Structure formats: C-alpha cells, structure tokens
C-alpha cells in the first residue's frame, strides 16, 4: 500500500476493540494485601465510639487487655496493697497536682540573669579532719588541744569559698553536688553524703538573688529527695532476710533490730546538726525512715518539724521549709492533716514579718518591689494550700474561705486568697465568682497586687467552662471596671492576657472587640506595647484558637489597630505567620470568599512575603511558600470566576518572589478554566471562551517568570492541554510551540530538591507527555503537515542536553515513531470532545499518509544508525535498546509484510548477542507475549516460528564465538 519501501510498515489498528480486550472485567478489592489484619471485634468498635478520646499512651490500660495470668497477678498485688492500710499507701488521687508538674513551672517562671553567689566549703575537709584527728591524739595538754582546735576552725573558715555564678552555672553546681552525693553514697562514704546534703540545705538559707529562690528550692529539694530515697532504700535492703528478697514495704514487726538501730542512728546524727534549717530539712528528707521504728511516730515528728520552722527568721525561707515538710507529709500520709494545718497557720502568721524593717530592707536592697517579693511566696503557699484543701469536705472549705474573708485586710489576706484561687476546684470558683470578686475588691492593694488576684481568678475560670455561653456579662463588667483603672501596664497586661482568653472563649465577638480596644488604649501611651510583644502575641494566638468565626474576628474594627501595635518587624512577621497558620489549619476543606477576610489575609501574607530575601534560609522559604500557597488555595469565589482570576492576578503581583507560589497560581488558573468548562458542560459561549483565553493568557505570560526549566515545561504542557480541552487550539499550539522551543536549550542538569540531577529522565517523561497531547492536536491549516510534531522530532535530534552515550534520544525517536503510526490510522485512539483532530481533518488523505511514511522511514534509519554506532561503544546497551525497538516494532508494524518480519528477526538476533541478564529476562517475557498473541494472530505465529528457529541457530553461532560485527552485517542485509 505504500510507495516507499520501509521496514516500518504501520499496521491498521482498531483501538476500540483493543481497548475492550484490555479492559477485562475486574473485581473490586476490599482488603489491602499488605494491610494489617484487623480482627473485627464488635466490642472494641463500640468502646472506641463511646469514648472518642482515649490517650493511647496513658497508663490506664483497660483490664480487658490483660491476659488471665497477669490479671490474676495484678489482683494479687492489689489485695496486697489493700492490706497495707489505705492510709500509708502513697496513692494520692488524680485531682492533686503532683509536685513534679509544679516544679517545671516554677523552674520556668523564676529565673534570673543576675549572678548568684554560692558559698561552699572546700571539698577535702573530710581528709583534713581525719589527719588532724590523728594529730590530736598525740596532744597531751589541754592547751595544745585547744590551739589545734582553733587552728582547725581557722583552716575551715579559710576553706570556704564564695563564687559568683550565673543561673546555669549554679544549676550545674547543684547537679554536680547531687552527683557527688550519689557517688559518695555508692562508695559507702555516708558521712560525706550527709555533709553534702547539709551543705545543700545551707544554700537555701542564702537569700541573695531572691527571684531565683523558688527555683533554687526546687533544685535543692531534688537533691534532698534523692538523699532521703537512698537512705530509705538502704534501710529497706537491710530489712531483707538473709538471701531473701527485699521487701517492698515495711512490716514493723519484721524489721530486724540492726535495721532499727541503723535508722535510729541516722536520726541521732541529724539531731546534732547545729544549724536549724539543715536539721529540719534533712530530718524531713529521711522522715519516711521513722516507719522502721514505729508506725505512728512520724506524725508527732512532722508536727514538731513544722513548729520548728517558726525559728527560721526569714519568712521566705520558712515558707519554703514548710512547703517541703508538707510535701513530705502528703507523700507519707495525706490523711494526716495536723502538720499541714499548723504549717498554714504559721505561714499566715509569718506574713506579719513582711512589714518589719529587716525584711523590707532585705528585698529593697535587691531592688524588688513588694508585689514581686510577695509573688515569690506563691509557689510555696499554693502548695501548702493545695495540700490543705486536698480531700477536704465542703464545710471545712467553707470555713476556710470565711476565715480568709474575715482577714482580707491583714498582710496575709491577699496572698492567701491568691493561693485559694489557684488551688480551689475551678468549678467551685465559677459557682461563687461574685463572692470572690467581692473578696478581691476588699483586699488591701498595699500588701498584695490585685492584678495577680484577678489574673488567678481568670485562670481558675478558664479551667471550668461555664454552663452556657455567652456567660454572665456581669462578671466581666465588675472585674474590668477595676482592671481598666490599673495604671501600670505590666499589671494590666497580666490580667488582660488571661481575661482576653476567657472572653474569647465565653463571650461574643463584641466583647472581644471592646477588650482589644481597651488593650490598645492602655498600651499606646509611651509606646508601652514595645515591652509586651510576647504577651500580645500570646493574646493573638488565643484569639485565633478560640474565636470560631475567623471572618467575624477580622471584621472587628479594632483588630487592625491591634495588629498595628506589632511594630518591630520580626515580631510583626511572627504574628502574621501565626495568623496565616491559624487560618490555613482552621478547616482545611473550607474555602472562603469573604472580601474582608481575604484582604486581611493577603495583607498579612504580603508582609511575610516581603521579608524574604536572598538571605532567607531554605527552611523558612519552604515554610512561607507552603503558607502562601495554602492561603491561595483557600480562596474560592465559587461561580464568580472572573473575580477569582482577578485575585490571582493580584496575588501574582504580590508574591512574585517565590516560584512555588507562582506555580500554585498557574495551577489555580488552570483549575479555574477547567471548572468553567464543567460549568458550561463543554459548550462555551462567547463570554466563557474569552474568559478561557484570558486564563490562558495569564498562564502564558506568567510561566516565563519561573526559573526552573522543568516546571516551565510541565506547566506549558498542562496549559496546552487545558487550552485544547477548552477548544482554543491556537492557544494550545502557542504553549506547545514555546515548550518545544524551550526544549532546544534545555540544560543538561536540573536541580531537584537542592541536588543537581541529570535531566534525561524528566525530559523523557515530559516529551512523551507532549507527544501524547500531540496525538489529538489538529494541524494548523496555515502551517505545514504535522508542523508541531515535525518541530519536536527535529528538536529531539538536535537537543544538546543529551550525551553521546545517552539512549534517551533514541528512545524518544522510537516514541516519535509510535506517535506517527497513530496518525496513519483511520481513527485516532482518543479525542477531545468538540475538537476535530487530524483523522477528521485529513480523512486519510493519500498525500498526508505518504508524508508520514517518508518520515517514518527517515526516523527508522536514524534509529538504526544510532544502534549501529552503539555497537562499537557499548554492546550491552545496544542490546537493551534494540529490545525496546523490537517491542515497539511488533506492537505497531504490520508483521505480515515480509520486510518487517525479516527486520524483526534480525533485531531479535541482535538482542541475543550481548544481552545482559536483565535484557534476557525482558526478552523472554516478550517471547511469551508473542506466544499468547500467536493464538489469535497469524503473523505472530509466523514470527514465533522464525524466532524459535533463529534462537537455536544463534546459540550455535554464539558457541562459535561470532563477533558482533557479523550480526550487524546480517542486520544490514534486511535492506
């Protein structure tokens, strides 16, 4: 049928029937083959649905999950525990906030940048003492002894050193002491251990840098706790019968006499510590060891210890010493209330001392205000009050509140009320909120700042959600009436931070607006806001998380003035980033078309975008670009596509710096075109088609601004496809033409994820994609036949980015062959609705077909040439490439033609020459496919016969070690 002799004779194909043949009926899979096998237990399903929030990490594993053996074991353990009298078992219930959680809060809150001085004895006092001891034994007269003793004392004085340390150094020092202590204990130096513990306690008596005191207390009591635990564990070990197991609790009758003796000895040692504070603290640390002596002795001792704290002159030190005793007390027996009650009353009493000149001078000398000084008490008092209120019945709580109420005007009134607000159950505070507001108002500002009280009240209210929202406006107005009068911005902000959160949770947007307005009013004078960026940021975050309606939040008239408070650029960018994050993550599916909201977001986004520059690091760039893209995706005007296009145009102008945002915009416009296509059901009116052209034009001028050539190529292809789909072939042609032009100077290497990568693989994919598009592209009547395809194949043969060794060019040419083959068919494999492709345009015109045949044979020769050249340089690659060619050949050519058949057989022989194992495997698979096809197709049957014939022959040939050039010779004879 063709006039030109060619090896490549396209076969006629019926795509519809082929398609049917390939699309065999399938069954839907329900299970992932690699998925975890889930036994569908009805029970578990219901349990998860009934309580949606189950923390998988929580220790409360439901009893069901335990196997029967361990269940029996756990039952045995629990009965054991019951035996040990519920009083002593240190199981404090859940409502009690454990010290460990308080501790981290305290350590964060009470820090300092000042230098802390630390006075410690030199380490080697122990050795000195022993040496001097032996010396002393030689002394005969008393006077000599005295002299020696005085020398020792002097030496000891000299041995003390005072260092100035930063906070971190101080912490390290204490940790070091703790380590030394454990070390000494392990090496059986118990005196040294005790000495270190005592030295630690002495540090607590040191009042310099008071702001750090609560943290210091935490650190040092940790050391004491370790000490107590070591002593206790050791005594417990000594309770073990010979070769027996160490008991896990104390049975008083079974404690051996030696253990009692040791325990008693410890208490005797501690009793002779001369100084008060170490004596109290160390005894408290090992108080648990009283259990080895008697079951109840600790009770009276605890009371005694608490009372001994009265002897501590400094009220702050005394308060923390009481706090520690309460900690020990609640640990040993939380039912024993007496020591805690004594501690509380003593603590309240001790606040009278604060007004004495001694104490006043002390904190004035460290430049602390009264309110800061008083706030240092708060952790200790909170703890004591928490211990006190723990499991207390309502009547007693009532009594206590009344007592506090009666004593509001005394120095301790405010701080005790604060502790109550911090520790009382939030539901209780919520119920009686008006009473508490009244109490706060009755407090004397000179003793304790009201701002802290209001803040505590707010925090407590936050923990207990009201019965209904919006909650009582009365509360807010009565509180704010006072707070708004605070002159000092720091105390005002302390309240505002908490109350803004409360308002955002429980009140309407109107109150939020008023509140923010109030904040602005307070912070504007003297540019006070500069000090409070942190708190303002926190407020904004709270608003973003709590206010449901984002649009309402940004339609408040005070929000922009509020955002204007953030005037330092980095703070401003941070807050905008937070806003954008909140907006994006709010509801990822939800779109918006609210102009106010969009304007606000774009404003924020612009600010964030404008900070980017050459110095921005990659991570930040990625974060910001992700954010901006997400924002763009969030905007959806629905049917108002023109508005949306306008938005994209604007956005392009604003965010030109980041490529990925531009890509998002192009994608968005494409999507817009497609959705328009769907809206009109594929039938464009004049208006819609001009809109499509507008979209395409947008893309056409935007894509060149991108830097990455691969992105450009892919987007050009995508846009051309969109254009063709929307029946604007001239635009599509334009895109493809630019894409093809782009190919001619495509770089050898492109950067993917920051690494330079050879562009071969990506080009193969992209160009093949373009060819796939070209199948349906109608020829431009003004141009020559297959103008674009022609251009593409020219570019492929001339592209500089392919190495000599690269086989991509050959593969692409082969694909080009396949493409041209489709153009000869009477019907194309696929069509675009309403677009007349070449099959309709040319209607199998003879000239057209001839033209294609010529091109086919030219291409074929080109490929054969490449194959030949490769034979000299890389026979293995030649073989695999030949296999690819073979594959395409048998798929697309008419094998009934003898020429084709002969060429195919030659190709097969070439494959067999230098096949690598991989190639062989593929070839074998291909043979099987031919075998299957041979059942239905006569020509394939013939091919199979020939192939199997040559197979035997070639094996003989190869055994005679024939050279490659031979086979090339035979391959050429096909001509």
For position 853 contacting another protein by CB under 8 A, the verdict is no
Give the one residue of 20, 179, 229, 310 binding another protein; rule: CB under 8 A.
Answer: 310
**Residue 269 in the binding site for another protein (CB under 8 A):** yes
Binding mask 555-594 for another protein (x = CB under 8 A): ----------------------------------------
Distances (CA, A) of 917 to 914, 921, 924, 948: 10, 6, 10, 19
Around Cβ 773, how many Cβ atoms within 10 Å?
20
Is residue 440 at the binding interface for another protein, with CB under 8 A as the rule?
A: no
Is 186 a binder of another protein (CB under 8 A)?
no
C-beta separation of 324 from 221 below 8 A: yes
Contact between 307 and another protein by CB under 8 A: the answer reads yes
Q: Does 119 bind another protein (CB under 8 A)?
A: no
Question: Which one of residues 143, 168, 952, 961 is an interface residue with another protein (CB under 8 A)?
Answer: 143
State which of residues 117, 258, 369, 730 lies at the interface with another protein (CB under 8 A).
258
Whole-number minimum distance, CB 135 to another protein, in Å? 9
Query: What is the Cα gyration radius of the chain?
Result: 43
- Quote the CA–CA distance of 789 and 932 in Å, as a whole number: 34
Least distance in angstroms from the C-beta of 168 to another protein: 29
3-state class (DSSP) for residue 10: strand
Q: Does 410 bind another protein (CB under 8 A)?
A: no
What spatial distance separates the first Cα and last Cα of the chain, rounded to whole Å?
A: 18
CB of 500 closer than 8 Å to CB of 543? yes
* CB-based contacts of 412, cutoff 8 Å, min separation 6: 347, 348, 349, 351, 352, 447
Could you give the CA distance from residue 376 to residue 373 in angstroms, rounded to a whole number? 5
Taking CB under 8 A as the binding criterion, the range among 331-339, 342-350, 847-855, 912-920 that sits at the site for another protein is 342-350
Of 267-275, 386-394, 721-729, 953-961, the segment contacting another protein by CB under 8 A is 267-275
Q: Which span (124-132, 330-338, 871-879, 912-920) binds another protein, by CB under 8 A? A: 124-132
Residue 117's SS3 state is strand
**Beta-carbon contacts of residue 144 (< 8 Å; ≥ 6 apart):** none
Write the DSSP symbol of residue 64.
G
Least Å from the CB of residue 264 to another protein:
6
Span from 352-360, 580-588, 834-842, 912-920 in contact with another protein (CB under 8 A): 352-360
Check binding of 272 to another protein (CB under 8 A).
yes
Angstrom CA distances, 882 to 807, 876, 893, stand at 11, 10, 15
d(CA 212, CA 445): 25
- Find the helix or strand (DSSP H, E) in which 827 lies: none
Q: Decide: 350 and 317 in contact? Cβ < 8 Å.
A: no
- Candidate residues 133, 164, 399, 916; the one interacting with another protein per rule CB under 8 A: 133
Among 66, 88, 121, 392, binds another protein (CB under 8 A): 121
Is the Cα torsion angle 536, 541, 542, 548 positive or negative in sign? positive
- Closest CB to another protein among 130 and 741? 130
Pairing of strands 116-121, 160-165: antiparallel
Binding segment for another protein (CB under 8 A), chosen from 311-319, 330-338, 767-775, 869-877, is 311-319
Instruction: Output the smallest distance, CB 607 to another protein, in A.
Output: 56
Is-contact 264 294, C-beta < 8 A? no
Q: Which stretch binds another protein (CB under 8 A): 77-85, 350-358, 804-812, 902-910?
A: 350-358
What does residue 411 show for φ and ψ, rounded to 5 degrees?
-55, -35
Task: Give me the least distance between CB of 509 and another protein, in Å please.
Answer: 53
Tell me: does residue 360 bind another protein (CB under 8 A).
no
Q: Which of 201, 273, 812, 867 binds another protein (CB under 8 A)?
A: 273
Number of residues that bind another protein (CB under 8 A): 61
- Closer by beta carbon to another protein, 147 or else 924: 147
HEC sequence for 132-198: HHHHHHHCCCHHHHHHHHHHHHHHHHHCEEEEEECHHHHHHHHHHHHHHHHHHHHCCCHHHHHHHHH
936 three-class SS? coil
**Out of 4, 73, 136, 687, the residue judged to bind another protein by CB under 8 A:** 136
Q: In the complex with another protein, which residue's Cβ is closer, 310 or 403?
A: 310
Per-residue CA distances from 862 to 12, 163, 883, 968 (Å) = 24, 87, 16, 15
For residue 333, the minimal CB distance to another protein (Å) is 21
- CB 415 → another protein: shortest distance, Å? 16
Q: Is 191 in the site for another protein (CB under 8 A)?
A: yes
Q: Which stretch, 255-263, 677-685, 721-729, 838-846, contacts another protein (CB under 8 A)?
A: 255-263
Q: Could you tell me which stretch among 23-31, 304-312, 638-646, 964-972 binds another protein (CB under 8 A)? A: 304-312
Return the closest-CA partner of residue 379 out of 198, 206, 212.
212
70 versus 130: smaller Cβ distance to another protein: 130
138 lines the binding site for another protein (CB under 8 A): yes
Phi, psi of 120 (to 5 degrees): -130, 155
What are the b/e assignments for 419-430, b being 16+ CB within 10 Å?
Answer: bbbbbbeeebbb
Contact with another protein (CB under 8 A) among 4, 76, 90, 146: 146
Give whole-number Cα distances, 59 to 90, 237, 586, 731, 816, in Å: 18, 28, 31, 64, 65
Residue 254 binds another protein, judged by CB under 8 A? no
What's the full length of the chain, in residues?
975
- Reduced to 3 states, what is the DSSP secondary structure of residue 369? coil
Cis check for the bond before 470: say yes or no (omega within 30 of 0). Answer: yes
- Distance between CA 407 and CA 414 in Å, rounded? 9
> CB of 80 within 8 A of CB of 128?
no
Triad 532, 533, 538: Cα angle to 5° = 100
Half-sphere exposure of 814 (CA within 13 A, CB side): 22
* Binding status of residue 293 toward another protein by CB under 8 A: no
- Region of 103-111, 118-126, 393-401, 927-935 interacting with another protein (CB under 8 A): 118-126
Q: Note whether 276 binds another protein by CB under 8 A.
A: yes
* The one among 173, 195, 581, 831 contacting another protein by CB under 8 A: 195
Identify the residue among 261, 442, 549, 836 touching another protein (CB under 8 A). 261
CB atoms inside a 10 Å sphere around CB 200: 26
User: What are residue 894's phi and psi, to 5 degrees?
Assistant: -85, 105
We find the least distance from the C-beta atom of residue 313 to another protein, in angstroms, to be 2
Q: How far is the CB of 312 from another protein (least distance, A)?
A: 6
Q: How far is the CB of 220 from another protein (least distance, A)?
A: 16
Q: How far is the CB of 293 from another protein (least distance, A)?
A: 11
Residue 603 makes contact with another protein by CB under 8 A: no
Shorter beta-carbon distance to another protein: residue 231 or 864: 231
Kindly tell me which of 275 and 918 has the beta carbon lying closer to another protein: 275
Q: Could you say whether residue 366 binds another protein (CB under 8 A)?
A: no
Q: Does 314 bind another protein (CB under 8 A)?
A: yes
Nearer residue to another protein within complex by CB, 213 or 554: 213
User: Of 150-158, 176-184, 211-219, 538-546, which segment contacts another protein by CB under 8 A?
Assistant: 150-158
List residues binding another protein (CB under 8 A).
121, 125-126, 129-130, 133, 136-139, 141-143, 145-146, 148-150, 153, 156-157, 190-191, 194-195, 198, 205, 257-258, 261-262, 264-265, 267-269, 271-277, 279, 304, 307-308, 310-315, 317, 346, 349-350, 352-353, 356, 358
């Amino acid at each position: 049928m063709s006039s030109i002799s060619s090896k490549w004779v396209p076969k006629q194909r019926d795509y519809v029937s082929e398609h049917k043949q390939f699309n065999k009926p399938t069954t839907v899979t329900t299970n992932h083959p690699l998925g975890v096998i889930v036994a569908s237990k009805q029970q578990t399903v219901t349990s998860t649905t009934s309580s949606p929030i189950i923390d998988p990490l929580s220790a409360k594993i439901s009893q069901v999950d335990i196997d029967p053996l361990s269940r029996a074991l756990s039952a045995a353990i629990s009965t054991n525990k019951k035996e040990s009298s519920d009083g002593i078992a240190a199981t404090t219930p859940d409502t009690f906030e454990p010290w460990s959680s308080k501790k981290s809060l305290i350590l964060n809150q009470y820090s300092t940048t000042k230098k802390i001085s630390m006075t410690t004895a030199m380490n080697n006092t122990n050795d000195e003492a022993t040496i001097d001891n032996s010396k002393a034994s030689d002394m005969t007269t008393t006077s000599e002894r005295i002299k020696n003793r005085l020398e020792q004392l002097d030496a000891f004085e000299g041995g003390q050193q005072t260092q100035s340390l930063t906070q971190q150094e101080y912490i390290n020092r204490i940790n070091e002491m703790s380590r030394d202590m454990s070390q000494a204990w392990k090496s059986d130096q118990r005196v040294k251990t005790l000495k270190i513990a005592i030295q630690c306690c002495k540090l607590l008596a040191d009042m310099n840098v008071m702001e750090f005191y609560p943290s210091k207390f935490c650190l040092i009591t940790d050391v004491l706790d370790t000490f107590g635990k070591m002593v206790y564990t050791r005594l417990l070990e000594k309770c073990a019968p010979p070769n027996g197991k160490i008991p896990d609790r104390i049975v008083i009758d079974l404690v051996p006499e030696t253990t009692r003796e040791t325990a008693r000895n410890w208490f005797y040692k501690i009793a002779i510590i001369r100084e008060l504070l170490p004596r109290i603290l160390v005894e408290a640390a090992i108080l648990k060891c009283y259990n080895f002596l008697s079951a109840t002795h600790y009770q009276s001792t605890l009371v005694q210890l608490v009372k001994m704290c009265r002897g501590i002159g400094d009220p702050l030190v005394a308060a923390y010493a009481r706090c520690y005793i309460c900690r020990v007390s609640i640990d040993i027996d939380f039912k024993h209330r007496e020591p805690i009650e004594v501690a509380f009353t003593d603590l309240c009493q001790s606040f009278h001392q604060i007004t004495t000149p001694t104490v006043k001078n002390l904190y004035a000398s460290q430049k602390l205000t009264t309110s800061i000084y008083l706030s240092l008490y708060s952790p200790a008092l909170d703890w004591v009050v928490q211990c006190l209120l723990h499991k207390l019945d309502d009547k007693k709580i009532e009594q206590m509140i009344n007592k506090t109420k009666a004593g509001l005007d005394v120095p301790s009134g405010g701080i005790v009320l604060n502790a109550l607000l911090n520790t009382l159950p939030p539901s209780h505070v919520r119920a009686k909120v008006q009473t508490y507001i009244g109490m706060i108002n009755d407090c004397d500002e000179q003793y304790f700042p009201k701002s802290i009280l209001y803040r505590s009240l707010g925090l407590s209210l936050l923990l207990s959600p009201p019965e209904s929202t919006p909650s009582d406006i009365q509360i807010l107005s009565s509180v704010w009436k006072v707070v708004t009068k605070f002159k000092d911005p720091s105390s005002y902000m302390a309240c505002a931070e908490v109350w803004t959160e409360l308002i955002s949770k429980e009140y309407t947007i109107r109150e939020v607006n008023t509140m923010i307005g109030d904040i602005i009013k307070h912070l504007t004078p003297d540019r006070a806001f500069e000090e409070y960026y942190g708190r303002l940021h926190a407020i904004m975050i709270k608003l973003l998380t709590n206010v449901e309606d984002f649009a309402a939040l940004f339609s408040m008239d005070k929000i922009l003035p509020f955002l204007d408070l953030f005037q330092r650029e980095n703070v401003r960018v941070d807050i905008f980033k937070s806003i954008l994050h909140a907006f994006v993550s709010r509801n990822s599916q939800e779109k918006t078309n609210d102009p106010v909201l969009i304007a606000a977001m774009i404003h924020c986004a612009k600010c964030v975008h404008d900070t980017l520059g050459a110095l921005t690091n990659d991570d930040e760039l990625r974060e910001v670009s992700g954010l901006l893209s997400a924002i763009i995706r969030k905007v959806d005007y629905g049917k108002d596509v023109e508005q949306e296009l306008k938005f994209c145009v604007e956005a392009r102008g604003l965010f030109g710096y980041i490529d990925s945002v531009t890509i998002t915009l192009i994608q968005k416009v494409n999507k817009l075109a497609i959705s328009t296509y769907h809206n009109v059901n594929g039938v464009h009116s004049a208006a819609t088609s001009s809109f499509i052209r507008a979209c395409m034009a947008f893309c056409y001028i935007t894509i060149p601004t991108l830097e990455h050539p691969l992105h450009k190529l892919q987007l050009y292809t995508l846009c051309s496809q969109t254009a063709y789909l929307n029946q604007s072939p001239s635009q599509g042609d334009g895109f493809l033409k630019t894409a093809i032009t782009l190919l001619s100077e495509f770089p050898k290497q492109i950067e993917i994820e920051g690494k330079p990568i050879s562009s071969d693989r990506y080009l193969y994919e992209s160009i093949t994609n373009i060819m796939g598009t070209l199948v349906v592209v109608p020829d431009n009547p003004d141009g020559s036949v297959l103008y674009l395809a022609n251009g593409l194949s020219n570019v492929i043969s001339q592209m500089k980015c392919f190495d000599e060794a690269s086989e991509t060019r050959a593969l692409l040419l082969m694909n080009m062959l396949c493409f041209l083959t489709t153009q000869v068919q009477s019907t194309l494999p696929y069509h675009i609705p309403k677009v007349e492709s070449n099959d309709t345009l040319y209607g199998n015109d003879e000239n057209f077909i001839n033209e294609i045949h010529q091109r086919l044979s030219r291409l074929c020769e080109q490929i054969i040439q490449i194959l030949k050249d490769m034979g000299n340089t890389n026979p293995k690659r030649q073989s695999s490439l030949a296999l690819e060619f073979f594959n395409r050949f048998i798929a697309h050519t008419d094998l009934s033609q003898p020429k084709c058949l002969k060429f195919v057989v030659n190709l097969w022989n070439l494959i067999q020459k230098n096949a690598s194992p991989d190639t062989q495997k593929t070839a074998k698979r291909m043979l099987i496919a031919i075998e299957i096809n041979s059942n239905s197709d006569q020509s394939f049957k013939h091919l199979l016969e020939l192939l199997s014939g040559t197979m035997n022959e070639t094996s003989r040939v190869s055994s005679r070690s024939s050279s490659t050039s031979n086979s090339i010779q035979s391959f050429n004879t096909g001509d």
